[in-house]
Amino acid sequence: MACTVTSAQTANSATTLQPPGTVAPTPSPAPVQPPPGAAPTLQPPTTAAPQPLTTPQTLSQLGQPDAFTGINDGFATDSAALGATRESFSAAPTAIGDFFGGGLSAFGGVQRVNNSYILSGNLLSGGPGQANAILGFDLPPNLRPPDDLFTTGLGIDASGDGNPDTFALAEPLPTSDAPTSPGAGFLFDSSTGQAVFVGNGGGTAAANGIFTDGQQWFVSYDYIAPVTPDGVNGRGGLIPVPGPGVATRRIKIGENYSPVVRDRCTFNYSFFNDAYAGLGDISRYTLGMERILVDGLLSVEARLPLAGTYASNQDLLRGQQSDFEIGNTALILKSILLSTENLVWAAGMGVALPTADDSRLQRGGRNLLVVHNESVNLLPFSSVFYRVNDDFCVQSLIQVDVAANGNPIYGDLTGRSLPKLGEFTDSTLIALDVAATQTLYRSCGGCRHRRRGLSLQEVLLNTELHYTGTAQESDFVSSNGLTYTNLSRNFNILNATMGLHLVLSNNLVVTPAMSVPLRDGLDEQFDYEAIVQVNYLR
């Protein structure tokens, strides 16, 4: 049986299936066949109205790039936008700093070594109760005639009964059994050497009555030694001595610092011309590394200062000595508390660890003073950075330096084992730093494309003002006639710093700078400080 296909079935079979949800195109009308012999008529095509692909957005809806976004990104292509190493440093450049680092102390006084006994007095000349009598005294084994200690001069009446009872005492001879000078520099103090008649009652006060042969006397004399020759007769002037780590003892966060967290290695060099208290020229080197712990929020930094400086061991007989010294190590934890397009607020805590050597003052190789470096210092800080425009920014930092514990001080001038004089605690310091940065030059006429290789990309000018002061007077330790303290009991240091950040290649920033003091006296800790800082950013 033959099958007949209708025109409707033919049309349906030619229809193309569309995916669900797809709008089928409007079919074109079937062509109209012209009458036989007539020319064909052309039909205009049917055009559908265009549909928008997405909803239009304004520039404000698209948002603006954050100046601190991608601040630790690695190398980008030449067409990359802001956020690579060079742009990130210039977006938040570092402050340079100014601080000397402290560590110079003072030591002085007169140590007194007393010798006193109750001894029998033997008349060597003169009679009982006579003012011109000479008496001799002997320490065990009590030889006769006595040959250890002798009176000299005329006796006086100290008790008020009209009879002489107190005589001056002569210095014992080296052959005597009585103690002589306890060490180099000790002198017999004739003002204290005396023999006082106490009768048979003992004690130390002069007794009434007439002394006779064989009765008891209180015999006492001192040897004294100043730390310095001008300390004889009780003056005992203070002299500069090394504390642990001169120029490397106290840590200032604001040295080569930015509130922004970064992955970087740092090197700081400072040359201090004619440092205070006759220290001369000092060179300090600081190695550092900062590492991000939480991207854009948290970093940790380590700093190790080294210096060619006043040696931690000084000998009074050899003059001033210098040496290469390791300072106290600092660990700094920094956190971003607030970050906007133009503002960064950061805060954190630093800890200065006692890695510097103990300091010693000697005379002829014998220890007179030892300061054990055991103090741990806490360094809380807060800083704010604000970008005014593409070419100018400012930042400020406030820091406190608080000693959590003290340094034990041991001292004695006799050359014997050193007794503990006390524990010295450093003064609390307050530091305030303000820095302003202006872009002087940018390569490519201001373009943001980065050049490969070593070339000058940008030049930034830093001008800074730095204040460091004590919150209270310095501690001091005094015992047995000896005193240890800071060379300056309090200070208010004000320095100005100016330098250039030279942004080179993609990772390297070199900063030459100069700092000068704005105050005099002990607040002027150097004539000038020449600075070179290097930042290598990852």
For residue 429, how many C-alpha atoms fall within 13 Å in the half-sphere facing its CB? 26
Q: How many domains does the chain have?
A: 2
User: Do 329 and 427 fall into the same domain?
Assistant: yes
User: Do 312 and 442 fall into the same domain?
Assistant: yes
> In Å, how far are 220, 328, 347, 490 from 399, measured between CA atoms?
55, 17, 10, 17
pLDDT of 20 higher than 50: no
Q: What is the CA radius of gyration of the chain?
A: 43
* Residue 2 forms part of a structural domain: no
Q: What angle do CA 151, 155, 160 make, to 5 degrees?
A: 140
Closest CA to 458 of 98, 85, 65, 95: 85
pLDDT of 426 higher than 90: yes
Residue 147's pLDDT band, with cuts at 50, 70 and 90, is: confident
Residue 445's pLDDT band, with cuts at 50, 70 and 90, is: low
CATH of the domain at 370: 2.40.128.130
Residue 257's pLDDT band, with cuts at 50, 70 and 90, is: very high
User: Do 94 and 120 fall into the same domain?
Assistant: no
Q: Which of 141-145, 349-353, 390-394 has the lowest mean pLDDT?
A: 141-145
User: What is d(CA 309, CA 321) in angstroms, rounded to the nearest whole number?
Assistant: 9
The domain boundary residue, chosen from 199, 231, 263: 231
The domain in which residue 198 lies consists of 111-231
User: Do 90 and 124 fall into the same domain?
Assistant: no
Percent of the chain, pLDDT > 70?
Answer: 80
* Residue 203 forms part of a structural domain: yes
Instruction: Provide the token pair at 147.
Output: 């040959």
pLDDT value of position 114: 94
pLDDT of 21 higher than 60: no
The domain boundary residue, chosen from 231, 253, 276: 231
* Residue 379 forms part of a structural domain: yes
Residue 22: partners with Cβ closer than 8 Å, 6 or more residues away: none
pLDDT value of position 61: 43
* Residue 183 forms part of a structural domain: yes
Residue 7 backbone phi and psi in degrees, to 5: -65, -35
pLDDT value of position 237: 72
User: Do 295 and 428 fall into the same domain?
Assistant: yes
User: Do 249 and 354 fall into the same domain?
Assistant: yes
User: What is d(CA 345, CA 290) in angstroms, rounded to the nearest whole number?
Assistant: 18
User: What is d(CA 307, CA 158) in angstroms, rounded to the nearest whole number?
Assistant: 60
CA 184 to chain centre: 37
Residue corresponding to tokens 């014998």: 366
User: Mean of the pLDDT values across residues 462-484?
Assistant: 95
pLDDT value of position 453: 63
pLDDT of 469 higher than 50: yes
Q: What angle do CA 154, 160, 163 make, to 5 degrees?
A: 45
User: Do 460 and 411 fall into the same domain?
Assistant: yes
For the stretch 46-66, pLDDT in tens is 444 445 444 444 434 434 444
> In Å, how far are 21, 49, 351 from 24, measured between CA atoms?
9, 14, 73
User: Mean of the pLDDT values across residues 243-255?
Assistant: 91
Structural element, H or E, at residue 7: helix 7-13
User: What is d(CA 93, CA 72) in angstroms, rounded to the nearest whole number?
Assistant: 13
User: Do 122 and 221 fall into the same domain?
Assistant: yes
For the stretch 267-295, pLDDT in tens is 999 999 999 888 999 999 999 999 999 99
User: What is d(CA 123, CA 134) in angstroms, rounded to the nearest whole number?
Assistant: 6
Is there a cis peptide before residue 145, judged by omega within 30 degrees of 0?
yes
pLDDT value of position 10: 39
Residue 86 backbone phi and psi in degrees, to 5: -60, -50
The domain boundary residue, chosen from 231, 256, 283: 231
User: Do 313 and 378 fall into the same domain?
Assistant: yes
Instruction: Provide the token pair at 262.
Output: 């970064």
Residue 403: partners with Cβ closer than 8 Å, 6 or more residues away: 375, 376, 377, 425, 426, 428
User: Do 393 and 509 fall into the same domain?
Assistant: yes
User: Do 269 and 399 fall into the same domain?
Assistant: yes
User: What is d(CA 354, CA 372) in angstroms, rounded to the nearest whole number?
Assistant: 10
Q: Which of 154-168, 197-211, 378-392 has the lowest mean pLDDT?
A: 197-211
Residue 69's pLDDT band, with cuts at 50, 70 and 90, is: very low
* Residue 382 forms part of a structural domain: yes
CA 296 to chain centre: 26
* Residue 191 forms part of a structural domain: yes
User: Mean of the pLDDT values across residues 207-229?
Assistant: 92
For residue 89, how many C-alpha atoms fall within 13 Å in the half-sphere facing its CB? 31
* Residue 483 forms part of a structural domain: yes
What 8-state DSSP symbol labels residue 278?
Answer: T
pLDDT value of position 228: 76
Closest CA to 460 of 115, 70, 86: 86
User: Do 249 and 327 fall into the same domain?
Assistant: yes
* Residue 497 forms part of a structural domain: yes
Residue corresponding to tokens 């290469």: 324
